Amino acid sequence: KAGVTQTPRYLIKTRGQQVTLSCSPISGHRSVSWYQQTPGQGLQFLFEYFSETQRNKGNFPGRFSGRQFSNSRSEMNVSTLELGDSALYLCASSFSDSGNTIYFGEGSWLTVV
């Protein structure tokens, strides 16, 4: 069974641009969550989607948004990029909303210059 797949794996953007990251969960998993990982802050929760609905959101500005499609694939978007948005963005999927183990993708490394 394929794991969580994230694309692109690496990207470089300029301040002020916007970026869209994609995540395909493990087949059958309906919950997708996103995390930002930086050396200083560690792993921080961005948001979680289940059945195309955002159910939970972390403490990030409105520039960070996401969505989930009917096939459970998810995208996150960051608009008006800032240098501080440089990070590893991790997507994780889980079978349901019942606290099952969540599995992470390899992540998308974003560098903002």
Q: Where on the chain is the footprint of another protein (CB under 8 A)?
A: 4, 33, 35, 42-45, 48, 50, 55-56, 58, 90, 92, 97-99, 101-107
* Minimum CB–partner distance for residue 99 and another protein (Å): 5
Q: How many CB atoms lie within 10 A of CB 111?
A: 12
* Minimum CB–partner distance for residue 93 and another protein (Å): 12
How remote is the C-alpha of 73 from its chain's centroid?
A: 11
Q: Are 13 and 89 in contact (CB under 8 A)?
A: no
d(CA 85, CA 107): 14
What HEC string does 1-25 produce?
CCCCEEECCEEEECCCCCEEEEEEC
Closest to another protein by CB, 18 vs 96, is 96
Closest to another protein by CB, 73 vs 104, is 104
* Minimum CB–partner distance for residue 108 and another protein (Å): 11
* Minimum CB–partner distance for residue 17 and another protein (Å): 25
Q: Is the dihedral of CA 81, 83, 85, 88 positive or negative?
A: positive
